[in-house]
Amino acid sequence: LQAAGKKNSSNLLELTEAELEEQFVRGDGPGGQATNKTNNCVVLKHIPSGIVVKCHQTRSVEQNRKRAREILQEKVDLFYKGEDSDVFKEKKASEKKKQEKKRRAKENLERKKHFKEMQQLDKK
Predicted local confidence at residue 69, as pLDDT: 93
Residue 90 pLDDT more than 90? no
Residue 6 pLDDT more than 70? no
Q: Is residue 4 part of a domain?
A: no
Q: Is residue 6 part of a domain?
A: no
DSSP letter string, 45-109: EETTTTEEEEE-SSS-HHHHHHHHHHHHHHHHHHHHHGGGSHHHHHHHHHHHHHHHHHHHHHHHH
Tell me the Ramachandran region of residue 32: left when phi exceeds 0, alpha when psi lies from -120 to 50, beta otherwise.
left
SS3 assignment, position 43: strand
Q: What is the CATH number of the domain that holds 43?
A: 3.30.160.20
Asked if residues 53 and 59 have their Cβ atoms less than 8 Å apart, the reply is no
Same domain, 50 and 101: no
Buried b (16+ CB within 10 A) or exposed e, 30-41: eeeeebeeeebb
Q: In angstroms, how far is CA 60 from the centroid of its own chain?
A: 20
Q: Is residue 74 part of a domain?
A: yes
The 10s digit of each residue's pLDDT in 40-68 is 899 999 999 999 999 998 888 999 999 99
Phi, psi of 3 (to 5 degrees): -80, 0
Kindly list the distances between the CA atom of residue 48 and the CA atoms of 19, 76, 123, in Å, as whole numbers in the listed order: 7, 10, 72
Q: Is residue 9 part of a domain?
A: no
Same domain, 89 and 75: no
At 10, is the pLDDT very low, low, confident or very high (cuts 50, 70, 90)? low
Q: Is residue 3 part of a domain?
A: no
Domain count, the chain: 2
pTM of the model: 0.63
Same domain, 29 and 78: yes
> By C-alpha distance, which of 46, 25, 45, 47 is closest to 37?
25
Segments forming the whole domain that contains residue 116: 85-123
